[in-house]
Structure 1
Amino acid sequence: MNILLAVLTSAIAVGGTLIGSWSTYLFQRRTAERAEAVNREERLRQERLAAFSTYAAAVTELKRGLITLWFRRRRALRDQDTREELQAAQLDSDRLGAAAEAAAFRLRLVADDPGLRPLMTAISTHLGAISHAADRQAVIAIEARFEEAVTAFIDAAAARVQ
């Protein structure tokens, strides 16, 4: 009878140990899964934040390049700029345009949000209007509307990464 009691006690002890180990494993696994989900969300938030800021910086640089090109074209018409300077401004604008387009593609990949598309379209519209500006006052007015559109974009983007 003592042997049976010893075996039963040992079996209960082993069973308790196994149940304790199994429950610890399950709790640790759940904790690790939750931590991974939080890390994944934080990485996505960081990616979105980087994409938003990269896009805003790229379109702002493109605006600068387009305004420079606009002034160089006006000076070239009055023979105040050399052809090389005009070509350099054109190449710079093309490079900046490609960078802005790449930033927009990346933004759509990591944060494709239908609510941001009209804001991005407004930014593009103002950028496109720069080359058609009739005079310096028109460029200044377009630049002001561009800045308003970028501010609206940044405000909307900030709400999405908080």
Structure 2
Amino acid sequence: MSAVLGGLIAVLGTLLGSFSTYLFQQRTAMRTEAVTHGERLRQERLAAYSEFAGAVTELKRAVVAAWLRRSDPAELNQARIEADRLGALAETARFRLRLVSGQPEPLADAAFAHMDALRGAADQAELKIREAEFEAAVSAFITAAAERLVAPRRAAL
């Protein structure tokens, strides 16, 4: 009888140990999956933020080039075509940014909105001012984006 009781205690101990190991492994796997998902999302956001900043900066370059070529109709037309193409790419990057971030991006919208001010500059002095305002808007966007990308990592630690 005592041999049966000893065997039963050994089996129950083994089952309890196996079950607790299973629970710990499951919890560890879930935590690892959550961290991996969070890092993947952070990488997608980083790519979207970078893509938008690059696209809107290229658009600014094209808009300024068109503005500088406004005295030559042939060159102006080519520059506008390029600016329109880059404008579509910047708009697409802005849409992707909004999808990936899952929230409104007012700083991205503000940077994008500076294109009209650049196009409408009356002279080179005003163009320089509008370019500086654009650069400040993009810098504010990048600073906010960096804070969003770093904050989840700190929370995970």
Partner of 1:56: 53
Q: CA deviation at 1:29?
A: 0.3
Deviation at 1:75, TM superposition (A): 2.9
1:92 to 82, 85, 92: 82
1:70 corresponds in structure 2 to 67
Q: Point out 4+ residue stretches in structure 1 off by more than 4 angstroms.
A: none
TM-score of the aligned structures, taking structure 2 as reference length: 0.89
Please list, as runs of the form range in 1=range in 2, the aligned pairs for 1:6-155 lying within 5 A after superposition: 6-76=3-73, 83=74, 85-114=75-104, 116-117=105-106, 119-155=107-143
Q: 1:140 to 1:75 in 2, by over 3 A?
A: farther
Paired residue for 1:80? none
Task: Give the % identical residues.
Answer: 56
* Count of residue pairs the alignment pairs up: 150
Rounded Cα–Cα distance in structure 2 between residues aligned with 1:133 and 1:74: 14
Cα distance in 2, alignment partners of residues 139 and 112 from structure 1: 34
Aligned position for 1:158:
146
Distance 2:71 2:88 in 1: 24
Assess, with a 3 A threshold, how the Cα gap between structure 1 residues 74 and 112 changes in structure 2: closer, same or farther: farther
Which is worse superposed, 129-138 or 141-150?
129-138
After TM superposition, the score normalised by the length of structure 1 is 0.86
Counterpart amino acid of residue 108 in structure 1 = R
| Contiguous gaps of at least 5 residues in structure 2 | 151-157
Q: Secondary structure at the match of 2:3?
A: helix
Q: Secondary structure at the match of 1:150?
A: helix
C-alpha distance in 2, partners of 1:152/1:46?
Answer: 20
Counterpart of 2:70 in 1: which secondary structure? helix
Q: 1:39-70 CA distances to partner (integer Å, 9 max, x unpaired)?
A: 11111111111111111111000000111111
Counterpart in the other structure of 2:153: none
For structure 1, which segment, 87-96 or 12-21, has the greater mean C-alpha deviation from structure 2 after superposition? 87-96
* Distance verdict in 2 for CA 1:124–1:155, change over 3 Å: same
